[in-house]
Structure 1
Amino acid sequence: MRVRIGMLAASASLTLSAVSPAVDASARDTAPGDLVSAEPSAFHPLPGRPSASAAWKIHYRSTSATGEPNVVSGTVIVPEDGRTGPRPLISYAFGTLGLADPCAPSANLPKGGLAEGGLVDRLLRRGWAVVVTDYEGLGTPGEHTYTVGRSAGRAVLDAARAAIRLPQAGLSAESPVGIVGYSQGGQAAGWAAELHSSYAPELRVKGTATGGVPARLEELPEIHDGSSGAGLLLMMAAGQDAAFPELKLDSYLNADGRTLVQAVRSNCLAIDTTVGAYKKMSDLTVKNPLSTPAWRNRLHESDLGTRAPGSPVYLYHATGDELVPYDQGTGLRRSWCARGGNVHWRAVLLGGHASGVVTESASATAWLAERFAGRRTAGNC
């Protein structure tokens, strides 16, 4: 039975009382994308500068990496532009913000200051509604399943379903949907594109714009071990362990490793990457978990490129990306193209990982606008 929410203006909020990702019994009678709660929120692209929009924080049903029902939070934002009737909807997946609940987009969009807030504002100025997922375990009970692709892709698709089912948003089942994400969000958007046809075929997905995609996680430890990105390895290990407790991360860590992993679990990005920078896994572990078959198998389960997306994709990657190597992007392009995907590929010639999302945003947005306008694309495989 779908949860119906009304009279939000008269009621300050409809909030969760005893719902957690370890789902209550009633969750078994609901469907992915069903609303659990909604309450008024706000969107500030910059601190102290609200946008001309209405916003709601939502909790909605989704599905974990292991196929269990869970609850994920997010934010629905709709332009206050006088337009009536259904409009396009973007399901937006943020890049890495951290593992602790205060890092969640829904906790920060009302305050402003998120680096991608301006990009969300650009989409709203097009007249499009936007829903931003917090991902599994970020802003809800439990730990964030960082880099677990299947969980993230489902959260992105179910966020779109939830936004459509929020009466105040003015959307409908006929609303065209676009998917957008970069870095961690690029992995989530890529997984959403691959899962759409099987997991949420009723969504009218017109295209996915995804960049800086970590398509093959197993290759990252060798690149980042002992480098400035070593903290990201700790985050990845913690995220995989959150999804698959049988991996028993703590059993591989020495005292220093346990201290650092607890630090990344408890803080947001600036702290996460700083505390682990230039650390070697050999200095933090009694045995490197990322080198064991059990861990490698789980990392492989998040590989992208094993199936073609069900709708066109705008895929881009910076040639100078220092965190997610360029060949991860070109490899994903080859895999999707070999499986018959409709892929528009763009090599970003200037800048590195952090700048890629900004420098390519205008082109990616224009490409999505063409998809919403019904124009066909053959890609450039």
Structure 2
Amino acid sequence: MRIRSTTLAVAALTLALAAGIPATTATASADTADAATRPGDVVASAPSSFHPRPGQPTNTKAWKIQYRSTTADGAPDVVSGTVVVPQDGRVGPRPLVSYAVGTVGLDDSCAPSDHLPRGTSAEGTLIHQLTQRGWAVVVTDYEGLGTPGPHTYSVGPSAGHAVLDAARAAQRLPEAGLSASGPVGIMGYSQGGQASGWAAEMLGSYAPELQVKGAAAGGIPADLLKVADSDNGRAGSGVVFMLAAGQDAAFPELKLDSYLNPAGKTLVDYLRTHCAAIDTTVGSFKRISDMTTRDPLAQPDWQARLNQSKLGRTAPAAPVYQYHAAGDELIPYAVAQQLRTDWCAKGADVHWRAIAGRGHITGGTSGAAAAADWLADRFAGRPSDGNC
């Protein structure tokens, strides 16, 4: 998705109407869209709601937003998301967490902003635990989920931009009442861990004005080539084909479909139009060689693009809490260890935690509370506790 500044007014009107904003509000958003030229500027907003489970009350207010962001190749785009603010009468700057969800799928129907109001988000309870601490939360939909264009799944720079710009947008949304200089945290696991890691790495150059106190990132697929090699033909092989589709979405010159045989085209077309719960099942135990006429991931152009999403080449500009399940069957433990080594070698402030006896999913759920406790310490101004 590459919405240029000359078409932002039309894009804003289309997105606002799709979100159910009244015509007058949508028109106003369109009229001011050309002024929304900075990354993080709000293009459109509408009241929403947040429920961890269907109908579960949360004492919060929520808004669905569309905001300016940046693609992996530096072009302006529009991303959607959800801002959730507790209604607890707090006085003073309220901490804001920019929360990056794990893999939800490639179809627009998978977007978190579509599921948070209905109580059907897989991470709704984890998000609720943050709002119960009195923190505001903004949840990005990432590029291409809930907005025009395909989802650029696994493309790290795009995801990092979306996470940082979501925080900017939440602070610039008047209804949310958040301070532009308030404390910010970043949190995410799995795909969200990649997005959070990228946000931490690009913070200093892309969004230095944000007062980010720390980033909690778990289950990070820091090296996509190694992840794909590990998952090829195994239970997590659906992720391999999803990441190929996501890279192709961001970089159409990769021409993924030209590598696919009929079975591969059927599989990838299915993955593009469904969500993760079914995608990971349908795509499991498939080998790249059985779905292609030749392996795209073995080609230099594909390897170059996948390596653009590799983490560990820049020290995060804020303290990082990195956690990973020792028994992770989807993201190799060694990939996480290497990222820790690379960050530490560059002088980063990293608190590393290995979660024993857990796999990928259970590592995420069991590790979330400790990650939030670590963020709470950063919000409280306590010294960081890196253990490089």
Structure 1 counterpart SS, 2:253:
helix
Counterpart position of 2:151: 144
Please tell me whether residue 369 in structure 1 is matched to residue 384 in structure 2.
Answer: no
Please tell me whether residue 316 in structure 1 is matched to residue 323 in structure 2.
Answer: yes
CA distance in 2, matches of 1:217, 1:136: 19
**TM-score scaled by structure 2?**
0.92
> For 1:15-54, what aligned pairs fall within 5 Å after superposition?
15=26, 30-54=37-61
CA distance in 1, matches of 2:28, 2:363: 40
Cα deviation per residue 1:282-332 (whole Å; 9 max; x = unaligned)?
111111111111101100000000010001000000000000011111111
CA distance in 2, matches of 1:191, 1:96: 16
AA partner of residue 152 (structure 1): A
* Residue-pair matches, total: 370
Counterpart position of 1:88: 95
Please tell me whether residue 202 in structure 1 is matched to residue 209 in structure 2.
Answer: yes
Cα deviation per residue 1:243-289 (whole Å; 9 max; x = unaligned)?
00000001101111111101000000122112211111111111111
The answer to whether the 8 Å contact 1:131/1:159 transfers is: yes
Structure 1 counterpart SS, 2:114:
helix
The answer to whether the 8 Å contact 1:42/1:50 transfers is: no
Query: Deviation of residue 137 (structure 1)?
Result: 0.3
> For 1:93-132, what aligned pairs fall within 5 Å after superposition?
93-132=100-139
Cα deviation per residue 1:47-75 (whole Å; 9 max; x = unaligned)?
12131100000000000001000000000
Counterpart position of 2:245: 238
AA partner of residue 72 (structure 1): V
Structure 1 counterpart SS, 2:73:
coil
The answer to whether the 8 Å contact 1:28/1:69 transfers is: no
For residues 298 and 326 of structure 1, do their structure 2 counterparts lie closer, same or farther at Cα, with a shift above 3 Å needed? same
The answer to whether the 8 Å contact 2:78/2:147 transfers is: yes
CA distance in 2, matches of 1:94, 1:52: 22
Counterpart position of 2:12: none
Gapped regions of structure 2 (runs ≥ 5): 10-20
Structure 1 counterpart SS, 2:82:
strand
AA partner of residue 219 (structure 1): K
AA partner of residue 71 (structure 1): V
Please tell me whether residue 303 in structure 1 is matched to residue 310 in structure 2.
Answer: yes
Counterpart position of 1:255: 262
The answer to whether the 8 Å contact 2:188/2:216 transfers is: yes
The answer to whether the 8 Å contact 1:92/1:131 transfers is: yes
Gapped regions of structure 1 (runs ≥ 5): 4-10
CA distance in 2, matches of 1:15, 1:194: 35
CA distance in 2, matches of 1:241, 1:41: 32
For residues 305 and 25 of structure 1, do their structure 2 counterparts lie closer, same or farther at Cα, with a shift above 3 Å needed? farther
**TM-score scaled by structure 1?**
0.93
- After TM superposition, which residue ranges in structure 1, 4 or more long, deviate above 6 angstroms? 16-19
AA partner of residue 275 (structure 1): V
For residues 147 and 18 of structure 1, do their structure 2 counterparts lie closer, same or farther at Cα, with a shift above 3 Å needed? farther
The answer to whether the 8 Å contact 2:236/2:285 transfers is: yes
The structure carrying a bigger helix percent of its residues is 2
AA partner of residue 338 (structure 2): G
AA partner of residue 117 (structure 1): G
Q: Which moved more, 1:37-46 or 1:219-228?
A: 219-228
CA distance in 2, matches of 1:361, 1:270: 21
Query: Deviation of residue 25 (structure 1)?
Result: 12
Counterpart position of 2:142: 135
AA partner of residue 131 (structure 1): V
Query: Deviation of residue 85 (structure 1)?
Result: 3.7
Structure 1 counterpart SS, 2:64:
strand
For residues 256 and 17 of structure 1, do their structure 2 counterparts lie closer, same or farther at Cα, with a shift above 3 Å needed? farther
Query: Deviation of residue 115 (structure 1)?
Result: 2.1
